[in-house]
Structure 1
Amino acid sequence: MSPPEVVWSGYRLDIHSFKKFIMVLTGEGDCPPSDDDESSVDWAYEYTAWRFELSPRDRAKTPRIRYLELNPDAPDDITHLFFPVRWIPYKSPRQLDDPTHPDYATTHEPNEKDKAKLDRWLAYIHETNGGKYHFSADMFDFTAIKDLHPAYEWRIF
C-alpha cells in the first residue's frame, strides 16, 4: 500500500532567482555550485545544508524545500523549487486542476497566514544576510502540488 498523499500549498521560486538566493545565504566565503559545473539539484542541497546548520529556533523560521517541475530532458535540472506552507488531504485530481472545485481556490491562493509566513521568512533572510540582497514576495508564485503526507516524509532533521 502506498503512503497517503496530500495537496500542499506554498510558494514557488524559479531556479535562477533561487541560485541568487543561495549565493546570498552561503556568503562570499562559501562557494556554491556554479551554473556550469553542477546540476540544479546541487543548489537545492546547498539550501538544505544551510538550513541544517541553523539553530532549531531559526530553522523553524525557514521552510523545507521540495523540488518542483523537473526538466524531463535533464532529470537533474530543476526549473522551480517549492516551499510548502500548509496541506489538506488529497481526494482527487480536480482539487489541483479544476478551478470550479471547492478546494481549488483555497489551495491555489495564499491566505493571510501564508503571506505572513513568507514575510517572516524573507525578513529573516534579509536580517541574516546583512541586507546585501533584498528578496521580495513578488519573486514567488503561490501554487499547489500533490505530494506525500508529512508523516511519511523522509527527514534529516
Structure 2
Amino acid sequence: MKANPLFFLLPLLVLLGTATTVVALESRRTPDWHWQTTLNRYLAENAAQPARVQTVTRARQPHQFTREMGSPVSNDWQWQIERLPFPPQTLYCVLLRSPASGSDDKPQAQVAQAQIVYVGYLSDTLYRTGWIVYAGPHTPFPPSLPRQLAAVGCDLTLP
C-alpha cells in the first residue's frame, strides 16, 4: 500500500504556517525585560552620585514623548552616528533619588537630590531596535515637568 503524499504534506504545512505566525507576532513584541538591564547599566556608569530607583511607571502615551524631555545617554546602541528613531514605542519614567551630599567638616542642611530619567524602546522597523536611557531634569525640577509627565501618561509623585 502506497502512502498518500497529502498525509505528510498537510501536517508539514500546518506546522510551517504556525511557526511563521508565531515568529511574526514575536518580532512585533517589545522585549519588556531588557529595559531594567539598560537602566542598571546607566546607574552604574553614568549616575553622578550613587542613585537608587524610587518609582517606576510605564507611560501610557509614549508617542507624546518629546526631545526636550530628556537627552539620550550613549550606551551600546546601534545608532551611534545616525538620528535616533522617534518617538519611543515603549517608555518607562523613572524617579531616581541620590543621598544628600556634603562634607564632614561643613555640616549643613542637606537635601537628597532627585532626577527623572526615561527608558525608551526604539525601533527603525527594520533591524535596529533597542532600549535607550534619556536623562531628564534634576532637582529643582522645572515647572513644566508635571505637565510633560502627564502628557506621556506617567504618574510619578515628585518630591
User: Structure 1 length normalisation: TM-score?
Assistant: 0.25
The higher relative CO (CA closer than 8 Å, separation ≥ 6) is in 1
* Structure of larger gyration radius: 2
Which protein is richer in helix relative to its size?
1
